[in-house]
A = this chain, B = another copy of it.
């Protein structure tokens, strides 16, 4: 279970944690129904405040990735290709691609980088 927080990362700590757990769900390390580590556990492992992790879990719950069982930990929710507004989904992608373009990468290079990142973000044996 690889979660970490990085001081050089501009995202808030809770966001790094939430994004990290989403990544674990995306790549299959965390599968439907599996229990997430407890808030206390994560807080201790990462050396951050309990409330910070609680906020991350709260966001994951709000977004539907996790179901919290009152007083009994959190589970990875059943996958739901629920439609999120396409705009909210594409905005971060656009910004990221713009940065790559301005950094001087060609379309082909960007496509290559994307393929590479997708390979890392996907479950090992499952190609969709």
Q: Which residues of chain A from 49 to 102 have a CB within 8 Å of any chain B CB? A: 62, 65, 67, 69-71, 75, 77, 79, 81-84, 87-102
C-alpha spacing A9/B92, complex, angstroms: 10
Secondary structure of the A contact surface, majority rule:
helix
B97 touches A114 (CB 8 A): yes
Q: Which residue of B lies closest to A80 (CB)?
A: B104
**Which residues of chain B have C-beta atoms less than 8 A from A38's C-beta?**
none
**Which residues of chain B have C-beta atoms less than 8 A from A25's C-beta?**
102
A19 touches B98 (CB 8 A): yes
Q: How many copies of this protein are present in the complex?
A: 4
C-alpha spacing A83/B102, complex, angstroms: 10
A111 touches B113 (CB 8 A): no
**Which residues of chain B have C-beta atoms less than 8 A from A127's C-beta?**
107
**Which residues of chain B have C-beta atoms less than 8 A from A10's C-beta?**
88
C-alpha spacing A95/B118, complex, angstroms: 11
Contact of A111 among B65, B102, B114, B122 (CB under 8 A): B114
Which A residues have a C-beta under 8 Å from some C-beta of B? 7-13, 19, 22-23, 25-26, 62, 65, 67, 69-71, 75, 77, 79, 81-84, 87-104, 106-107, 110-111, 113-115, 117-118, 120-122, 127-128
